[in-house]
Structure 1
Amino acid sequence: MQVIGLCRFSFPALGSFQIEHETLEERRRYLYDPKRLEERFRLFESSTLPCFREHTDEDFVLLVAVGECLPKSAFDRLHDLTADIKQIQIVQKSAETDKKHRHIMKDILHTARTDPDQPCLQFRHDDDDAVSVDFVERLRDAAEDCKTLMSRNHTVGIDFNKGFIARLNSEGVHVAETFKSLIGVGLGMYVSGGCKHTIFSFAHHRIGRFMPVVSYPDAPMWVRSMHTSNDSWGARNSNEELQPLTPKQEGEFIARFAIDQNRVRQVHSAGWT
């Protein structure tokens, strides 16, 4: 079964974000502010890319959606950072004023389906988060677990609801283990053959209103980062108590997420580019 992920990297369309702007030009100025872009690149390099580089199931595609207006220096940097990960495809799309963000993402996913008449598994991913290196493997396992349920529904949510809230910076990694449902990271969806819905057809926190959702709380499957440019107000202003990784957790982060605390310190301590 085809597995397709979609990650937006500072994509400048209107809608589907909590931080709103009146015009596309305002959104571009916000997203492409050099300080913000630098923070996103550092998080992308130290959290997102390592876990997909080390995935146990290599049979998936991760589409990284960027605007055609992304500055060339940023596009070149993105290309260089992802060049060694064969599953990543950078997709440049125009941010059209008459087409909302959600519809653009749906078009990208529809185009990526190699056979729309066959079922597929989809997931969404933010450029500042991480999933476990066995995330795609676990998605396939879930599809096998839920064969009967999926045969009776066009769409089924797959929610891995255990993970870590984390802050990654020059001081290393500070975390709190938690259970959170339908937060986007660690969330997948089965889509039947011929179905026109995608994982971007629904707000992630409301997906359970439209389809059955199967939850797996057994193992930490994601790392959601907290930082100054989070789209979510709650994430930007979180007062969650985060603690430095214990020696045991350092090993767990390397094994489960391919996140090496020493590499995190190095990436986030580098001079501004």
Structure 2
Amino acid sequence: MAAKFRNEIVGLMRFSYPSKGGFVKGGVDEAEEAQLARLYDPARLERRFQLFERLTMPSLLVQSDPDFRMVFLIGRSLPDLWRDRLNAAIAPMPDARVVSLASLPHYMAIKRAFAMATPEEATHITGFRLDDDDAIDREHIARMRTTVAALLPVAGVDAPLVTGSNRGFFLERKPEGNALFEVVEKTPIGLGLAMTTRVGVSENIFRRNHRFCGQYYNTYTEANTPAFIRTVHADNDSDPHASGKIERVDWDSAAPLIAQHFPFDAAMLQRL
């Protein structure tokens, strides 16, 4: 690749952002007042923060490659109580920023948030997506950087390149006790999925349904590393399901892998 090539990694998380579209629950015709009441329900936000603070943020803070930016997209209407709690939670991350926007069409808001976080010196952006109730493994950013550097010359520096991982865990939260499932997806899962493009290209990883990325883009997913933990619970917006192999695992057998790849142990996940 050319000597001037500079790829910057930027993650984007929608934190209860009240967009027009972008949600399954509520439907496309949901009134703004009803959407705000649903998203900002104190009990719901408390549940989201419990997962965000105990699962998502720890996984971001222990990345072996800390050279990435993280953008948290919120609505300007988010009450100060929750905005302050979000700012406090992300304070330990040097390259984290909150982008506050009015309610916009979903993809327009995503493009604007990515543009606001793009470093001036970058030639390419690897933008990845992550929800506020999921976790990535400690090598996720490092693996992403290495994979993109290896594949972009082959795929072409002007063509979008999608990279991700398709092995991980589903953590199903139940009143009678949490259950853990090991999954190996056969289509790309959105969790941690990234798209690399030249700076200025309006397309990003939110443009298409993540399951169909292979239909539109050069796509590579790594199948060896347990790379994510996805939580399954009543607040999920979409129907959480595996596209490939899924198998329930007992906590004792999963414990060594969890301890190796994530900043928490199986006992914590069992209690979460």
TM-score (structure 1 length as normaliser): 0.86
CA distance in 2, matches of 1:170, 1:50: 24
Q: Aligned pair 1:107/2:106, yes or no? A: no
CA RMSD of aligned residues (A): 2.3
Deviation at 1:161, TM superposition (A): 0.7
212-221 or 199-208, larger mean C-alpha shift: 199-208
4+ runs deviating over 3 angstroms:
168-173, 240-244, 260-266
Q: Aligned pair 1:256/2:261, yes or no? A: yes
Q: Tell me the residue number matched to 2:45.
A: 37
Q: Tell me the residue number matched to 1:271.
A: none
TM alignment of 1:193-212, pairs within 5 A: 193-212=199-218
CA distance in 2, matches of 1:6, 1:156: 17
Q: Aligned pair 1:125/2:130, yes or no? A: yes
**CA distance 1:210–1:33, change in 2 (3 Å):** same
256-265 or 70-79, larger mean C-alpha shift: 256-265
**Residue from 8, 16, 29 that aligns with 1:10:** 16
Residues 215-258 of structure 1 show CA distances to partners (whole Å, capped at 9, x for unaligned) of 211111111110110011345xxxx7745421x52242233121
Deviation at 1:74, TM superposition (A): 1.0
Deviation at 1:75, TM superposition (A): 1.1
**Residues 126 and 195 in structure 2, CA contact (< 8 A), matched pair in contact too:** yes
What residue ranges of structure 1 are gaps of 5+ in the alignment? 269-273
CA distance in 2, matches of 1:171, 1:108: 40
TM-score (structure 2 length as normaliser): 0.87
What residue ranges of structure 2 are gaps of 5+ in the alignment? 1-6
**Residue from 218, 221, 229 that aligns with 1:223:** 229
Amino acid aligned to 1:198: N
**CA distance 1:171–1:230, change in 2 (3 Å):** same
Q: Aligned pair 1:56/2:37, yes or no? A: no
Deviation at 1:209, TM superposition (A): 2.3
Residues 41-64 of structure 1 show CA distances to partners (whole Å, capped at 9, x for unaligned) of 111112101110100000001111
Q: Tell me the residue number matched to 2:4.
A: none
Q: Aligned pair 1:80/2:99, yes or no? A: no
CA distance in 2, matches of 1:206, 1:115: 31
Deviation at 1:86, TM superposition (A): 1.8
Q: Tell me the residue number matched to 1:23.
A: 31
Q: How many residues are matched?
A: 259
Q: Tell me the residue number matched to 2:3.
A: none
Deviation at 1:152, TM superposition (A): 5.1
Deviation at 1:102, TM superposition (A): 1.4
Deviation at 1:211, TM superposition (A): 1.1
Residues 113-146 of structure 1 show CA distances to partners (whole Å, capped at 9, x for unaligned) of 1138611211000001111111110011111220
SS of equivalent residue, structure 2 residue 130: strand
